[in-house]
Structure 1
């Protein structure tokens, strides 16, 4: 089992979006945060020998982190074909031999319908853009439908919403963790060169 530091180092080669879209909130998940989430899933036995699905995988940070931890197969789903092309290149950079598939589709549209429940990893949009509030709800709905367990990253202050949503959909939040990461300046409306934001990571078991 890799340590969190080892995972972060291996994921440091994963590149982000060439031309990110603000409406899709396309930000590269920092390796430190990704390794934290993946390491927790690994410690809980939710990756080794399992099918893992990364909903809204972007350029593959969480999917490839999971692929380093001995799953049977990893599937990354994203709407952006350019991001998936980058994800395929990132797989070569990371060097994992685990079977990884990339699917271009709406991650909330049930593009993946496995016969057995899977482990879902995801960093859904926080809903920061006008008209996109609570964008993470649709991702949680999909996780509730296909996952035995899910790990997700949400904006700070989301605990009440996530716990309530899980309870209403037959799920149970079994662990919550605090973290933070730096958002770089990559859109015109960004005023600062970078901004530190607090986030929360949740593990949910689904019925």
Structure 2
């Protein structure tokens, strides 16, 4: 298995958003964080020979990270067509042997019916940081519960009680939790720093 560092280096060519939308909390997942998530999933046997869904895929960072680790199928879903166009370009730059299907759709109502027992969801859902968008990650978790047997998702720090409770209420169980850091660049008017490191958490959930 290639190292996590090697995976992060391969993902360094993945471009971010040309015109990011604040209402969708569109931030490029850092290559190191994407490599960490997918490497952990691979170690658990949740990538190779499985269907991998990236919900709210943006420009494709997590989908492409998974595609580099030998899955059977990868599908990236996003509601915004512009990042999907960038994702297709990123796919050509990364050059994985597994092709990715890019689907324009609401990731919380994904028009997909994969084989649940063989499907892994990877996602960096909105943290719900914008006013009126609180708990935006709830709908993404609900979709993961419907479409997969296991999911990996990034959440704002302090989400443990919420994620564990939601999983328990929807036939799931948090099996692993990891601390993570998310580097956010200055890209919106309300940002007052050149960049900021946000504490985040990565959860692995088994859905039954």
Residue in 2 aligned with 1:32? Answer: 32
Q: How does 1:13-162 map to 2 (within 5 A)?
A: 13-117=13-117, 118-162=119-163
Secondary structure of residue in 1 paired with 2:91 = helix
Superposition deviation, residue 114 in structure 1: 1.4
Gapped runs of 5+ residues in structure 1? none
Task: Give runs of ≥4 in structure 1 deviating > 2 Å.
Answer: none
Superposition deviation, residue 182 in structure 1: 1.3
Superposition deviation, residue 115 in structure 1: 3.6
Q: Distance in 1 between matches of 2:36 and 2:19?
A: 26
What is the TM-score when the length of structure 1 is the normalising length?
0.99
**Retained in 2: the 8 A contact 1:163–1:173?**
yes
**Once superposed, what is the RMSD of the aligned Cα atoms?**
0.7
- Larger helix proportion, structure 1 or 2? 2
**Retained in 1: the 8 A contact 2:13–2:94?**
yes
Q: Distance in 1 between matches of 2:148 and 2:159?
A: 20
Secondary structure of residue in 1 paired with 2:204 = strand
Superposition deviation, residue 111 in structure 1: 1.9
Secondary structure of residue in 2 paired with 1:108 = helix
Gapped runs of 5+ residues in structure 2? none
Q: Distance in 2 between matches of 1:187 and 1:112?
A: 33
Superposition deviation, residue 112 in structure 1: 1.6
Superposition deviation, residue 3 in structure 1: 0.9
Q: Distance in 1 between matches of 2:79 and 2:110?
A: 12
What is the TM-score when the length of structure 2 is the normalising length?
0.98
Superposition deviation, residue 110 in structure 1: 2.7
Superposition deviation, residue 113 in structure 1: 1.7
Report how many aligned residue pairs link the two structures.
Answer: 207
Superposition deviation, residue 99 in structure 1: 2.5
Superposition deviation, residue 181 in structure 1: 2.1
Q: Distance in 2 between matches of 1:99 and 1:93?
A: 12
Residue in 1 aligned with 2:12? Answer: 12
Kindly provide the CA deviation profile for residues 152-171 of structure 1, in whole angstroms up to 9, marking residues without a partner as x: 00000001100000000000
Q: Distance in 1 between matches of 2:97 and 2:85?
A: 18
